């Protein structure tokens, strides 16, 4: 696997690649349990970076710190809150993360608007089955400070995604017709 690169763009965002995507909701907006009926949901994905990619992790931490300093100056009244929520977390501490999280750091990235998802040829992917948890991708993200009631922190906006290659799907097994081999089917023309 190629080394993870973190590249700052001229759009004040970062391209991070290659990464693995998880809890991927890029074709339809995701609404969390308990969301208000009027909540339109968000397009979201978790971004996994192997813990061995220390340079990439340090670059992401620096981007988070830069956003925190911006928040100090513009959002949080001249100081960084002691309970500041930071997006980069240790995957081994995630409940129900699975094997892929054990050896990874991760952050969640989201957008209120649908984000473009490109194939390796840089052409938009039109088949939603090609966009899934477990695929390898490059993500363009922006780190920004937020303050919502008592919650203060740095969040990650998702700008775009480029699928690099397929990976083993996370989650449910792929269904096949073979599972029905145990069912006897009658050949008569009787209606059910």
Between the CA of residue 88 and those of 54, 60, 93, 141, what are the distances in Å? 13, 8, 12, 13
DSSP 173: P
Q: Which burial class, exposed, middle or buried, applies to 2 when counting CB atoms under 10 A from its CB (0-12, 13-18, 19+)?
A: exposed
Query: Which pLDDT tens digits describe the chain residue by residue (192 residues)?
Result: 789 999 999 999 999 999 999 999 999 999 988 888 888 999 999 999 999 999 999 999 999 999 999 999 999 999 999 999 999 999 999 877 778 899 999 999 999 999 999 999 999 999 999 999 999 999 999 999 999 988 999 999 999 999 999 999 997 655 677 777 888 777 766 555
- Return the CATH number of 5-182, one of 3.30.365.10, 2.40.50.140, 3.40.50.980, 3.90.1150.10: 2.40.50.140
Dist. CA 125–CA 135, nearest whole Å: 13
All structural domains of the chain with their residue ranges: 5-182
């Amino acid at each position: 696997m190629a080394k993870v690169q973190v590249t700052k763009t001229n759009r004040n965002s970062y391209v991070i690649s290659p990464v693995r995507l998880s809890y991927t909701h890029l074709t339809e907006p995701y609404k969390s349990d308990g969301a208000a009926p009027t909540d339109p949901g968000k397009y979201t994905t978790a971004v996994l970076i192997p813990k061995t990619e220390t340079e990439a992790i340090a670059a992401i931490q620096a981007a988070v710190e830069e956003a925190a300093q911006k928040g100090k100056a513009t959002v949080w009244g001249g100081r960084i809150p002691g309970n500041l929520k930071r997006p980069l977390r240790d995957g081994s501490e995630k409940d129900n993360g699975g094997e892929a999280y054990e050896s990874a750091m991760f952050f969640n990235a989201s957008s209120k608007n649908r984000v473009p998802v490109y194939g390796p040829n840089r052409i938009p992917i039109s088949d939603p089955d090609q966009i899934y948890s477990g695929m390898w991708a490059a993500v363009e993200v922006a780190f920004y400070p937020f303050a919502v009631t008592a919650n203060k922190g740095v969040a990650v906006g998702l700008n775009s995604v480029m699928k690099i290659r397929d990976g083993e799907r996370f989650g449910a097994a792929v269904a096949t017709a073979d599972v029905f081999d145990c069912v006897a089917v009658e050949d008569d023309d009787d209606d059910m």
